[in-house]
Structure 1
Amino acid sequence: MKMSFVLFFAFSMFLQGTRGEVICETLPANLCSFAIASSGKRCVLENYIDEEGKPDYTCKTSKVVVERIAGYIESDQCVNACGVDRSFVGISSDAFLAPQFTARLCSPACYQNCPNIVDLYYNLAAGEGVYLPALCEKQKTHSHRAMLALLSSGAAPSPVAIDSFGGIADAPTPAST
């Protein structure tokens, strides 16, 4: 009995030590995308040119606050289930035009288990005048109609990308990690 209490105490101390604050600027580039700082602000991957003139990537804190989630780094399981890529700088509404992406985002494995990614794309879709739950419902029954609905919303002609500070940016580019 005494030994089990000691093991429990030691294990709980170990967990306390591993649950530190999430600070975007201290995250490696390969964990930055889809992370939320302890302050509740989204982390974003940004590219820059280093001293040697080579492109490199860093993690920064955006101005975008996420309600109800703080100090969170998205799991690799959710990244894979939702079909997103941690190595992209910025996100774009163009992703909705790929039926495979929308199918993965709307899949139960993503939509029901990965609230951080779903919230991010929900807000991006809303900015394009698309209601993500309705798009997902159409995706389940008629994937081609879902694409037509998105195209008729006006989202397709001018792709929108959100930069690290919540503003409009250039189309996303892949980062080499």
Structure 2
Amino acid sequence: MDSSMKLSIILFFACSLFIQGTLAAVICEKLPANLCSFAVESTGKRCVLENFNNEEENLGYTCKSSEVVVEKLAGHIESDQCVSACGVDRDFVGISSDAFLTPEFTGSLCSPACYQNCPNIVDLYFELAAGEGVFLPALCEKHKSNPHRAMLELMSSSGGAAVGSADSVVEAPGPAPSPY
């Protein structure tokens, strides 16, 4: 067998493994706990990490699918690089908008490494912010110019107020489109 034939066989084998891997379905209930958070199963449902007490009364974690559907990211498991760049933790049970109150988190989320490269995490927090009446792109712009003022405006906003232009707090016009 000549070297070109060997190379063809190796290439065929490698491609077949790649295709098999890409066709595998992502199912939340089958994901290990350390990959659950920031994953979206193939049906488009977000995965959530839940805790429970096992038979020995030790705390354990399991991955479940939620009712939140994100079709454009179906089958996506966020990379460790994105988890790190965005300042999030896969071990958190439940995700809260309280994270926006820390300038460090908002700075990580709004950083180019996160905001431009990690659509799943950005989409999740975009929706979370919108639920609080905050338009994430405006918060990120405000954070770039004056992080402490952005946090003060965010904390002082009540109900539907959102961080808007550089010097004002404005009402959010309703659910904003996702940046992705």
User: Which category of TM-score, normalised to the shorter sequence, fits these structures?
Assistant: 0.7 to 0.9
Aligned pair 1:14/2:14, yes or no?
no
What's the CA shift string for 1:107-134, capped at 9, x where partnerless?
0000000000000000000011000000
Instruction: State the match for 2:115 in structure 1.
Output: 111
1:87 to 86, 91, 96: 91
Distance 1:112 1:43 in 2: 22
Distance 2:157 2:127 in 1: 15
Q: Which is bigger in relative contact order (C-alpha 8 A, separation at least 6)?
A: 1
TM-score in terms of structure 1 length:
0.84
SS for the counterpart of 1:36 is coil
* 8 Å Cα contact 2:43-2:71 kept in structure 1: no
Distance 1:153 1:91 in 2: 20
Correspondence 1:52-67 to 2 at 5 A: 52-67=56-71
Larger radius of gyration: 2
SS for the counterpart of 1:129 is coil
* 8 Å Cα contact 2:41-2:76 kept in structure 1: yes
Give the Å deviation of 1:152: 2.1
Hey, which of these two has a bigger chunk of strand by percent? 1
2:143 to 136, 139, 143: 139
Instruction: State the match for 1:71 in structure 2.
Output: 75
SS for the counterpart of 1:73 is coil
2:41 to 37, 40, 46: 37
SS for the counterpart of 1:18 is helix
Distance 1:5 1:149 in 2: 61
Distance 2:65 2:37 in 1: 11
Distance 1:3 1:139 in 2: 56
* 8 Å Cα contact 1:128-1:153 kept in structure 2: no
TM-score in terms of structure 2 length:
0.83
Cα RMSD of the aligned pairs, angstroms, is 1.2
Structure 2 alignment gaps of length 5 or more: 160-180
Instruction: State the match for 2:133 in structure 1.
Output: 129
Structure 1 alignment gaps of length 5 or more: 156-177
SS for the counterpart of 2:55 is coil
Instruction: State the match for 1:163 in structure 2.
Output: none
What's the CA shift string for 1:110-161, capped at 9, x where partnerless?
0000000000000000011000000000011110121122112237xxxxxx
Size of the aligned set, in residue pairs, is: 155
Distance 1:120 1:67 in 2: 13
Correspondence 1:154-165 to 2 at 5 A: 154=158
Amino acid at match of 2:41: A
